[in-house]
């Protein structure tokens, strides 16, 4: 059953550049939703990368109890990082940690899909105003640009899929599923070779040659790919799904089709495990993202830790 709170002014962090700039036009609709219901709110706009982290941190320090990400998965990632990192620094007890809500006006909206957050702006705002939340797992990745850690709520992609994500993000006027499909075709032109990788986790140590590793709290990444089809956001475990041997270039499109439905887990070329922590060490450089946000274009060691039931996320 969802928990509920009261007296929570909504501090809304809107990324106007989400969905290739289309999110800017949603500000008026969001404001009307809260104004018409007489619900107290404040909207602030981000103006640079990582700004949502700063704004979320400020909101925590000022005592806001409801902090809302209005944007895509990247905006939500920054808000979660700002809320959880600041709460940890301030040594807040769980009951003192603010709720986090989501108005999904971004490109991929993967976590909105997983958490069943309504796509409709008015319905998403109504859910926030109901202030009903559920404990939700979050994780932290230590690698690349973030040796001190970067929180995530949906998952960490390593290898092939992050390359597609980075290319899709670079398109100026294309978003959503089409941007990922075009990114996939572009990456195929310089298809990556497998690297020898070792895994150290709660279930032991293993090794293989691989091009793709998905460390999933949620099921979906890249707007359409079920990289961890059995992952659950409040079961206290990460689902690690990875290619356990080389996938040839001529095979990748076939497996990409399997990602749409999550059927890659039934292939002998893929393995999976469940763990609270994992360290990936490669003999070479691996691309890595967290919730679609770049962690590294190439690093050798990636450590990931899950924090079960660490976030009050507004959902039903």
Do 153 and 283 lie in a common domain?
A: yes
Do 267 and 121 lie in a common domain?
A: no
Tell which of 101, 130, 159 closes a domain.
Answer: 130
Residue-level pLDDT at 21: 92
Query: Residue 249's Cα: distance from chain center in Å?
Result: 27
Distance separating alpha carbons of residues 147 and 33, to the nearest angstrom: 40
Residue-level pLDDT at 110: 95
Strand partners, 280: 199, 302
Residue-level pLDDT at 180: 74
Task: Determine the longest span between alpha carbons in the chain, in angstroms.
Answer: 58
Q: What is the CATH number of the domain that holds 59?
A: 3.40.50.10330
Residue-level pLDDT at 6: 57
Do 304 and 225 lie in a common domain?
A: yes
Distance separating alpha carbons of residues 94 and 194, to the nearest angstrom: 42
Residue-level pLDDT at 232: 98
DSSP symbols for 90-112: TT--GGGSPEEEEEE-SS--HHH
Residue-level pLDDT at 250: 85
Q: How confident is the chain (316 residues) per 10-residue block, as mean pLDDT? A: 74 95 96 97 97 98 97 97 98 97 94 97 98 97 98 96 82 73 79 94 98 97 92 98 93 88 96 98 96 95 98 96
Do 154 and 223 lie in a common domain?
A: yes
Residue-level pLDDT at 4: 61
Do 154 and 106 lie in a common domain?
A: no
Is there a contact between 202 and 275 (Cβ–Cβ < 8 Å)? yes
Do 60 and 172 lie in a common domain?
A: no
């Amino acid at each position: 059953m969802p928990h509920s709170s009261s007296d929570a002014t909504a501090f809304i962090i809107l990324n106007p550049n989400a969905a290739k700039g289309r999110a800017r036009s949603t500000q008026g609709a969001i404001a009307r939703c809260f104004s018409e219901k007489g619900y107290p709110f404040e909207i602030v706009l981000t103006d640079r990368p990582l700004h949502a982290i700063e704004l979320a941190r400020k909101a925590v320090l000022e005592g806001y109890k409801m902090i809302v990400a209005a944007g895509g998965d990247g905006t939500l990632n920054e808000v979660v990082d700002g809320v959880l990192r600041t709460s940890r620094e301030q040594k807040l007890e769980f009951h003192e940690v603010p709720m986090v809500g989501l108005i999904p006006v971004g490109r991929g909206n993967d976590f909105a899909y997983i958490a069943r957050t309504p796509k409709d702006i008015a319905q998403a705002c109504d859910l926030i105003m109901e202030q009903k939340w559920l404990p939700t797992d979050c994780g932290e990745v230590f690698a690349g640009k973030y040796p001190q850690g970067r929180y995530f709520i949906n998952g960490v992609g390593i290898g092939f899929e992050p390359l597609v994500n980075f290319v899709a993000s670079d398109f100026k006027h294309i978003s959503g599923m089409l941007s990922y499909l075009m990114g996939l075709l572009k990456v195929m032109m310089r298809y990556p070779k497998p690297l020898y990788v070792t895994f150290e986790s709660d279930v032991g140590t293993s090794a293989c040659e691989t091009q793709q590793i998905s460390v999933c709290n949620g099921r979906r990444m890249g707007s359409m790919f079920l990289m961890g089809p059995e992952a659950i956001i409040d079961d206290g475990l990460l689902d690690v799904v990875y290619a356990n041997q080389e996938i040839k270039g001529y095979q990748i499109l076939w497996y990409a089709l399997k990602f749409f439905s999550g059927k890659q887990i039934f292939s002998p070329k893929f393995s999976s495990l469940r763990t609270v922590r994992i360290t990936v060490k490669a003999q070479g450089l691996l691309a890595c993202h967290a919730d679609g946000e770049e962690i590294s274009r190439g690093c050798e060691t990636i450590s990931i830790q899950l924090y079960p039931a660490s976030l009050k996320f507004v959902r039903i």
